[in-house]
Amino acid sequence: MSAGDEKQVIKQFQHLIRALIPYEQENRLLEGLNKFSKRLPTNVRKIIKEEVIRLTSLTDAPADNSAFAQFPVIKFKHFGVDMCLDKIGTQILKKESGLYQNRYTVGVFESITSSEFYQTQIKKEQYKKIVDAFAIESQSQNDIDFGDDISITPNFAVSSPDLHNGRNCNLASLGYKTMAVEMRRPPKMSQGEEVTFTFPEVQGLTTKETKIDCKLDSIKFNKHTSNYELQFNFSDETDERLLEQLKRFIDTAAFHQPLKRELEIERAMQDLERDRILENSPWMPVFVKANKKQAIPIIALFTKKNVEHNNAYQFLTKLSGKSEFNRLYLELRRYGEAFLFNGSINTKKGIVEICATHRDLVESKQMSPLIYLMMKSGTLTCTHCRMDTINEGEKSKAFAIHDLSKTDFPDLAAMTSVMFCKDITPSLKDLTIGEKCQFPAIPKSLIADTGKWSISYVMEEDLDRRSEHRYIIEKDASVKTGFLTSFQAKIKDISANGMQVELSEKVAASNFTDSIKISVPEFKMRSEKYMIVHYDEALGILRLKLPELNKKGSVDSLLEQNLAFFRQRDIARAQRSTHRFIWELAMRHHPSVSVLCVTNRHILDRLKTVYQSEKSDDLYPFSRVQNIIPLHGFFADRQTMRPKSELLEKLLVGKKRNATVVHCVRKDDNKLVYISENHFLYGTMRQNIANHLQQDKVELCVTQVEPVRCQSSSTPLTKKRLAQLSKIDKTMYEKLVNMQSAYTHVIYLTNESTLHNELLKAKLRPLRPVRTDANPSATAKKGITKQAS
C-alpha cells in the first residue's frame, strides 16, 4: 500500500484511531481492535494499529503554535519541554494530554502544532457562543402548579387575644397548613411560641367561629406592603377534618380570590403572555363535540388576527362538510395533525369539488394529479389542522374562573376537543408536476359532501358589528311567500328591526322574492312584512329586516313591554360569557411554538420567552434542554462567526413576512445539514432530496417561521387577569399594566415536515417566480439584442 493510501486510511478512520488510544494506554490495543474493527481488512487494521502506537509514543519536540495563533503567545516549560502557545493552544495541550493519560506524546505534539486542529477548536468555541446567544428560557402552556405551596390572600380577618390587643388582623396569606398575619409593628414574640386564632364564619370554610392553634415560625418585614408578616404553622393537633375543609376552600377560592402576592404575580404574568399568544395567533380554534358515532363542530373563536389570516367565514364552510369533518376528526385523533386540501376540478361531467387530507390523497395515489389540477384551476387551498383533547378538569376550571354555570351552557360542557386550523396555501407557492403522471378517476370519498354542519362563532366585542341588541328566543312561526304558499319555521333570535328564522324543511331559494310575510302566534304577529337580507339554502336559515328602519314593528313594542325578560336572553351577554370560556381553553392548548418579543436595542435581546406545549415537535430537529430552548438553528446567520441574525432583523422590521427554514437529517450518521429556502424550493437539490427520501436515507425537517406584530398593548382579558392583583398590590399592578406595551411581536414556529415530505415524494415542485426588472428600458434593450443575435 502506497503512502498516499495510508494517509487516506488514517484520515478515513480518524474517529476509530482516537477511540483506540485509551486501550493502548491500558495495554489492551488488540482487544480494542477486535471490538471496533472486526470486519476491516488486515492491511487496514495494521495501518490503524501502527498509527495508534505512533501517536501514543513519547516525544521531546518543542511545541509552538505561534505561526497561526490568534491570541498573545506565552513561553513556558511543561513536561520539561519548551512551549510557545497562546490561549487556545494551552487548552488543546490540557485536553489532549488528558487523553494520553497526562503524557507528552507525538499525538499531543501534532494536535498543538496543527493549524487545522487549532481552527476546529476556534470554530467549536464560536459555535458555542452562537448557541448560547440564541438560547431562550421556555415556559409551559400548562398552568403553574404551586402544589402544597399554594396560598391565597383571603378577604376576611382573624383575631387572637395574644396579638394586637385582641383586635382583628389581616391575613397576608392562607395555605393548607400555614398562614401569615400582617401587623404594622413587630410583636414581642419569639419563634415557637403558640397562639390561638379565632376564624370568623366563612362560607365554604366554617359555619361558626372556629379556634385554631398555631405556632410562630418567623417574622419578616415586607418592603412592598411596609408591614411585618408573622408566619404561623398550624398545630399538629388540629382536627384533620378542618384541614381537609380548609384545603377544599383554598382550591375553590384560588379562582375567585388573589393568591399570595408572589404567586399571584407569577399567575398573572403567565396568563397575560398566553393571552397575547392567542390574540395574535393565525390559528383559529374550532371546538368539537364527539361521541362514538360522530364528531360535530360546535363553535369557533374569531380574533382580529385569525380572521385576517384565514378569510374566516369561507374557512368555516370548508370545515363544515359532515362526512369530511368526521374523517378529519378520526385522522387528527390518531395522528394529532393533518393537512386538508380543498378546491375544484374541471371534468367532462362538470366541476367537481374536492375535500381530502394529504393522507387521503397519498392513499388513493392521487396527490400529484389532484393538487396539480386544483392549482391549475386557481381554487386550491390547504388548511393545516392540529387537535388536542379537553379534559373535564380544564372545563371545570374555565367555568370557575369566569363564574359560569354548566347548566346554563350545556353545549360548552359537552365539548371534548379543540381543533386549531390555519390557512397555509401561500406557503405552497405555485406547484406543478415534475414528471408525467396518469389522471385516473376521482374516488367518491375525495369529493366534497353536500351535507353541512352549522358552525357558530364568537368574537371579541371590538369585532362585533351588530347595530342593535339581539335576543335568543325560540318560537314557532310561518313564512308566507305567495298567496297560497307558506312554510313552517322556528325563530332563532329577534331584534327590534330584524330576526333570524330557521325553516323546518328544505326550500329552494327560487321560492323567495325580496320580501316575505311572517306570522308568530305567540307574539300576536300576523303577516308582518319583512325584507330578506340573506338566505342560506343549505342550512335553511333566513335573515330578515323591517322594510324601513324608522318604522316600528310589533317586536319593538313587545321588547319595550318585556325588557327585563328579554335582557336575560341577550345574545351579546351570552356570547361574552362563551367568548371568555372558550378563550380560557384555547389559551392552554395553542398548537405551535410561540416566541414572545419585547423592545430592546440589541436584536437578540428582543427574544424574551418561548411557550411550547408538552406534545409539540415544532423545534425538531432541535430539542429543549431542561427549560432552555435553542433557536440558533432557525435564526442564526451561518456565514458569520459571531451571534447575528439577519433573518430576525428582517422579520421584526417587516421586510420579510415569513420564512421557511429547512434541515435534512442524514440517517447513517445523524448529521444535520442546513438547506437554504431557495435551494429547497427551486434548486436541483430538491430532486436530490426527493431521491434520498425515496431511499429512506434522510429525514426532511421544514419549519415555517411567521412573525405577527402586536397591534394593541392589551388583550380582551387583560383587565380580568390583573383584577385580583390590583386588590393586593397596586404598585405591581401598575408595573404589569405598563409592561404590556413592551411586547412588540409574537413569532410562531410551525413544523410542516409531514406535508413537504409527501409533496417531494409526489414529485411536485414550485414554479420559480418571474423576475421583474427594475429598469424597463434595460429589459427592452436586452430583448432587442437577443432578437438581433
745 in the same domain as 636: yes
Buried b (16+ CB within 10 A) or exposed e, 317-335: ebbbbbebbbbbbebbeee
Beta bridge partners of 420: 285, 386
516 CB-contact burial (10 Å; exposed 0-12 / middle 13-18 / buried 19+): buried
400 in the same domain as 331: yes
- Cα(736)–Cα(755) distance, rounded to whole angstroms? 41
User: Which domain-ending residue is among 419, 437, 459?
Assistant: 459
Tell me which H or E stretch contains 778: helix 776-788
Q: Over the Cα atoms of the chain, what is R_g?
A: 35
Is the preceding peptide bond at 72 cis, omega within 30 degrees of 0?
no
Confidence at residue 785, expressed as pLDDT on a 0 to 100 scale: 36
Which contacts of 588-591 are long-range, i.e. CB under 8 A and separated by 24 or more positions? 588/141, 588/142, 588/143, 588/274, 588/394, 589/141, 589/285, 589/388, 589/390, 589/418, 589/420, 589/613, 590/141, 590/274, 590/277, 590/278, 590/281, 590/283, 590/420, 591/283, 591/386, 591/388, 591/420, 591/616
The per-residue pLDDT for range 152-200, each reduced to its tens digit, is 999 889 998 888 777 888 888 999 999 999 888 888 888 888 889 999 9
Indicate whether 141 belongs to any domain: no
Confidence at residue 565, expressed as pLDDT on a 0 to 100 scale: 67
Indicate whether 733 belongs to any domain: yes
User: Which set of grid coordinates corresponds to residue 668?
Assistant: 447513517
Half-sphere exposure of 598 (CA within 13 A, CB side): 11
Distance linking the first and last C-alpha atoms of the chain: 57
- Cα(565)–Cα(410) distance, rounded to whole angstroms? 21
Number of domains in the chain: 6
Low-confidence ranges of the chain (pLDDT < 50): 774, 776-789
434 in the same domain as 305: yes
Confidence at residue 100, expressed as pLDDT on a 0 to 100 scale: 87
Chain-centroid distance, C-alpha 731 = 32
Q: Cell match 319595550: residue? A: 560
384 in the same domain as 327: yes
SS (H, E, C) 281-330: CCCEEEEEEECCCCEEEEEEEECHHHHHHHCHHHHHHHHCEHHHHHHHHH
Indicate whether 788 belongs to any domain: no
554 in the same domain as 498: yes
SS (H, E, C) 333-390: HHHCEEEEEEEEEEECCEEEEEEEEHHHHHHCCCHHHHHHHHHHHCCCEEEEEEEEEC
662 in the same domain as 731: yes
Phi, psi of 515 (to 5 degrees): -130, 160
Buried b (16+ CB within 10 A) or exposed e, 45-77: bebbbebbeebbeebeeebbbeeebeeeeeeee
Indicate whether 524 belongs to any domain: yes
Confidence at residue 246, expressed as pLDDT on a 0 to 100 scale: 92
- Given a contact cutoff of 8 angstroms between Cβ atoms, the answer to whether 423 and 311 are in contact is yes
Q: Enter the DSSP assignment of 13.
A: T
CA distances from 544 to 157, 496, 526, 710, 749 (A): 57, 11, 16, 38, 44
286 in the same domain as 377: yes
CA distances from 639 to 127, 135, 352 (A): 12, 19, 49
303 in the same domain as 398: yes
Q: Enter the DSSP assignment of 768.
A: P
Listing DSSP states for 183-224 in one string gives ESS--S--TT-EEEEEE--BTTTBSS-EEEEEEEEEEEEETT
CA distances from 672 to 120, 125, 696 (A): 18, 19, 15
Indicate whether 580 belongs to any domain: no
In 3D space, the residue among 229, 272, 264, 275 whose CA is nearest the CA of residue 730 turns out to be 264
The per-residue pLDDT for range 292-304, each reduced to its tens digit, is 889 999 999 999 9
- Cα(171)–Cα(157) distance, rounded to whole angstroms? 6
623 CB-contact burial (10 Å; exposed 0-12 / middle 13-18 / buried 19+): exposed
Confidence at residue 412, expressed as pLDDT on a 0 to 100 scale: 92
44 in the same domain as 160: no
Confidence at residue 559, expressed as pLDDT on a 0 to 100 scale: 72
User: Which set of grid coordinates corresponds to residue 662?
Assistant: 429547512
- Cα(101)–Cα(499) distance, rounded to whole angstroms? 88
User: Which domain-ending residue is among 56, 73, 102?
Assistant: 56
For 14, the domain range is 1-56
Phi, psi of 212 (to 5 degrees): -130, 130
596 in the same domain as 735: yes
- Given a contact cutoff of 8 angstroms between Cβ atoms, the answer to whether 13 and 48 are in contact is yes
Confidence at residue 777, expressed as pLDDT on a 0 to 100 scale: 47
Confidence at residue 773, expressed as pLDDT on a 0 to 100 scale: 54
234 in the same domain as 166: yes
Confidence at residue 783, expressed as pLDDT on a 0 to 100 scale: 42
Indicate whether 104 belongs to any domain: yes
- Given a contact cutoff of 8 angstroms between Cβ atoms, the answer to whether 690 and 699 are in contact is no
Cβ contacts of 756 within 8 Å, gap of 6 or more: 700, 702
- Cα(425)–Cα(752) distance, rounded to whole angstroms? 12
The per-residue pLDDT for range 392-419, each reduced to its tens digit, is 999 999 999 999 988 888 889 999 999 9
Confidence at residue 603, expressed as pLDDT on a 0 to 100 scale: 92
| Amino acid at residue number 169 | C
Confidence at residue 775, expressed as pLDDT on a 0 to 100 scale: 53
613 in the same domain as 546: no
Indicate whether 274 belongs to any domain: no
Confidence at residue 772, expressed as pLDDT on a 0 to 100 scale: 55
Indicate whether 782 belongs to any domain: no
